[in-house]
Structures are given as C-alpha cells and as structure tokens.
Structure 1
C-alpha cells in the first residue's frame, strides 16, 4: 500500500520561524522585516524577538501570516528556546502582547514547561552556537525539535549546522524534528551575502492559518532547507521513494543500519531515488545536497 509522506496536504507554505527586529536586538523595525519577507515570497513569519512576546492581529490570510511567539532564554545564558503560540490547545492563561520574559534561575525543563502551560510549542535554537554537550539536549522533555541549520550562526561563526546533534538524539530514541531558520540581526538586507533568506521551512498544511501551520509543525509535516526542495516523499511497503529539485545527491540516513547515498557517477543532477528500508531500522531521514552544497532535510520517519 502506497502512503504519501510529503506533502500530506495539497498546499505547502514557505516560512521563517526565527527573526529579530528593533523590538529586541534586530537592525530593522517590524514593518521593514515583514515587508522584506513578503516581497521575497515567504508566506509566514514568526516575530521571535528576544524575551518579548509578539501577538499578531491576523490569524489567517490567503497570502501571508505572522505566527505569535518569542525567543526566550534560560536565565542569562545562551540557551535559547522558541515559544510559538499553539491555538489548537486550550490553556488557562497565555502570554499577553509585549509580555517580557524575565531573566530567572529556571532550568531548561522549567522553561519548556511554562511555555507549554501557556499554550506554546517549543524549539531549541542553534545548539552548536550555544556549545551544547549532546547530553544537554537529551535531558529535557516536551520540546518539538532543534534548529539543524541557523543561517546567522553559519555566517557569523560557522556554527550553523547541527545534524550531528539531531542524529544523536534520534539514535537515543528521542523523536524530535529538524528546523532551519535565518535568525537575522544585521543591517544587511541590501548586501549580496546577507543574514536574511538563508534558512527556512516548507510546511504542508490544511491552510494558511496559525492553527494549521502549527498543527503541521507538531506532526512533522514540513521540511527544512537552505536551498533545494523536496517535491514528494512516498512509502510503499518498506520502500521510500523521493522526488526533489535538481540535486547532486539524495542521502537516506538511518540507524542502526547504514543508509544509502544516491548520486550520478557522471556528475549529472539527480531528481529521484528510492531506498528499501532494512529490517530493524529505527528511523530514516533524507538529506539532499545541491551542486552548490546547499541542503534540505526531511523529518525522520520512525519504524
């Protein structure tokens, strides 16, 4: 029996979950940042200023929406956790607009618990830039995933990629998703090499509404990218089939068995591949790489 893994819904939407404005330490005001992403063809954006909660007046739209949220911090450390509003759940109390997240002595787990109790999903940001030990991400419970690519960190200090953290968590049985984002702060919108528009996610959702986008984030119906695209992922019996934009390789990454890397020996583009999942496999994720070294990451399939 054939099952379509991605896209699960008819429509997909491109967005960035990690952005900063002059409300915290960003270089551009709110209106400039929103306008820039809309003009670039993004369909949703989370205004995630440090420790300052943003609430949008528009919850759904046919062209562009803002997700409510913030980037909070564990104490005064570099341990940064996204809170993104989930209006699919009923809670007694939510953060109000412009609420300030205080510098406290809360642990990461206490921070995640508070975010969730106030109706948010949680994402742990830029683990390599934060200089995490692997075990530090294994301990907390209740977060949705980690940034496997942070564009600003990559530009700033070559600390943007974190798929090794992701695979460590997946090998340990932690079911977490992989996100890519900009985290742009600099005043470089008009530069050729900029912090903006370098990392994003593409979400398959029932519609362009806050509830729908967040619902699909919770079920992993998205992929992360800094370049190429996944067009379709299907599973038939134990065989995965994937179609992509033109890339130089399509890698099936598994545990505990070795996966498979598909490429053309003459150096031509590849656009599709298949992989028979070995018996005993715990998870498979797909990583594609284009001719410029840009990548996209599917979420893991758990077996």
Structure 2
C-alpha cells in the first residue's frame, strides 16, 4: 500500500520563519516587511527580532498570517535559539507582546526549557555562522530542528549551509528537522541579489492559521528550499519515490547504508526518482539540486 509522506494535506503554504525589522537590527519597518513578503507570494512570516517577542494580530487568515516569536540569545554563547508560539498547547504563562528576553546566565537547555514552558517550539539558528561545534547541538534536548540553510549567512560569509551538522545529529539518533530561512538584515529589497526571499519552507497544513502551521512544523510536514520544489514523496513497501520541479539531481541520503544520487547522464533535467531502502537503514532524507545549484531538502524519513 502506498503511503504519502509529503504532503499530508492538500494545502501548501510558503513562508519564512526568520527575518528582522527596526524593532531590533533590521533596516525596514514592520509594515514594509510584511507587505514585501506578501507581495512576493508568501503566505506566512515570523517576525524574529533579537530578544524582542512579537505577538501578531493576524493569526488566522485565508491569504497571509504572521507567527508570534523572537530570536533569543543565550548569554555570550553561540546559541541563537528561535522561539515560535505553539497555540496547540495550554500553558500558564506566555511571552508578552514586545517583551524583552534578557541576556541571562541560563545555559542552552534552561533557555529551551523556558521557551517551551511558555508555549513555544524551538529552532537553533545558523550553527555554522555561530561557529558551533557539532557536540554543542547534540547536548540540548527539546528543540525541533536547525537551520540547514540561512540566506543572510550565505551571502555574508559563505556560512549558510549546515547539512553536515544535520547529518551528524541524525546519525546519532537525534530526530531533528531541517529549516531554511532568510535572516535578512540588509537594506537591499531593491536589489536583484538580496538577503530577502532566498530561503523558505513549504508547509503542508490543514489551513492557514498559526496553530495549523506550527502543528505541521512539529510533525515535519514541510520541506526547506532556496530554489526547487518538492511536489510529493511516497513510500510503497521498501521503496521511496519523489516528484519534483525540474532538477539536475535527486539524492537519497541514507544512514548507515549508502544512499543514491539520481541524475541524467546527458545532463538533462529530471522530475522524479525512486530508491529501494537497504536493510538496516536508520533514516533517509532527500536533497534535490537544480541546474543553478539551488537546493531543496526533505525532512528525514525515520525507519
């Protein structure tokens, strides 16, 4: 029997979880940022200003919503931990609108625990840019995933890609998801090459609301991209198959057995591929690359 891995729901929503405004160190006012993403066809956005919590009035809408959240920092450490409100859980106390998260002496685990206690999911941002050691991501518990691509870091210092961190964690049994984002800080909305609109996620959700989007993030029902599209992933017995937009290659990354890289030997675009799961495989994730070198990443399929 064929099992649909992605998407679980008919509705697919494109969004960015990480961008900044003049509320912290971004160059543009909030309303200009919201309009820019909406005009570019995004359906959701999270305002993740540094240590300053944003509470949205647009929680449920047919066209465009804004998720509550902030990008917190753990003292002078390399941990930048993203908090996004999860309204599927009941908590006694949430972060207040415009509330400032102080630089404290809490360690990363205490910070994650505090964010979750106040009704948030947690993502660890740009591990390569912050020069994290692999083990520093292995130690904390309770976070949902990491940024495997950060457009600002890629533009600034070629530190945007972090799939090696991701595979390190997955090989050691840590079930974390992969996110792509802008993390835009530059005043370059008018330029062709910019920090905006360069990394995003596409979420399969029951409807366009904060609660639905975050519920799908928690189950991994999304993919990350800086270019190509993942249209469908299916499993039938021991075979994984995928359909994509036109790409140069489709790589099935597996562990501990080797995966498979599928491409056309004449260099033409491909749009689908299949992989037979080797016995003993722990996880498979799929990474697609188009002719321009742009990529998209499925979430791991845990076996």
TM-score between both structures, scaled by the size of structure 1: 0.99
Aligned to 2:253: 253
Is structure 2 residue 179 aligned with structure 1 residue 166?
no
Distance between the aligned counterparts of 1:180 and 1:3, measured in 2?
26
Distance between the aligned counterparts of 2:23 and 2:300, measured in 1?
35
Aligned to 1:133: 133
Aligned positions of 1:1-303 closer than 5 A: 1-303=1-303
Work out whether residues 248 and 264 of structure 2, in 8 Å CA contact, stay in contact via their aligned partners in 1. yes
For residue 76 of structure 1, report the CA deviation from its aligned partner: 3.0
> CA RMSD, aligned part only?
0.5
Distance between the aligned counterparts of 2:103 and 2:28, measured in 1?
24
CA deviations 1:44-66 (Å, max 9, x no partner) are 00000000000011210000000
Distance between the aligned counterparts of 1:238 and 1:12, measured in 2?
27
Work out whether residues 78 and 132 of structure 2, in 8 Å CA contact, stay in contact via their aligned partners in 1. no
Structure 1 outlier segments of 4+, above 4 Å: none
The total of aligned residue pairs comes to: 303
For residue 91 of structure 1, report the CA deviation from its aligned partner: 0.5
Residue aligned with 1:128, SS: coil
Residue aligned with 1:42, SS: coil
Distance between the aligned counterparts of 1:78 and 1:219, measured in 2?
27
Residue aligned with 1:288, SS: strand
Distance between the aligned counterparts of 1:195 and 1:206, measured in 2?
30
Unaligned runs of 5+ in 2: none
Unaligned runs of 5+ in 1: none
Distance between the aligned counterparts of 1:5 and 1:182, measured in 2?
26
Distance between the aligned counterparts of 2:72 and 2:80, measured in 1?
6
For residue 137 of structure 1, report the CA deviation from its aligned partner: 0.2
Distance between the aligned counterparts of 1:165 and 1:58, measured in 2?
34
For residue 77 of structure 1, report the CA deviation from its aligned partner: 3.2
CA deviations 1:258-295 (Å, max 9, x no partner) are 00000000111000000000110000000000000000
Residue aligned with 2:95, SS: coil
For residue 23 of structure 1, report the CA deviation from its aligned partner: 0.1
For residue 192 of structure 1, report the CA deviation from its aligned partner: 1.2
CA deviations 1:116-174 (Å, max 9, x no partner) are 00000000000000101100000000000000000000000000000000000000000
Residue aligned with 1:35, SS: helix
Distance between the aligned counterparts of 1:297 and 1:133, measured in 2?
22
For residue 253 of structure 1, report the CA deviation from its aligned partner: 0.1
Work out whether residues 22 and 28 of structure 2, in 8 Å CA contact, stay in contact via their aligned partners in 1. yes
For residue 228 of structure 1, report the CA deviation from its aligned partner: 0.2
Distance between the aligned counterparts of 1:48 and 1:238, measured in 2?
40
Distance between the aligned counterparts of 2:86 and 2:59, measured in 1?
11
Distance between the aligned counterparts of 1:22 and 1:114, measured in 2?
26
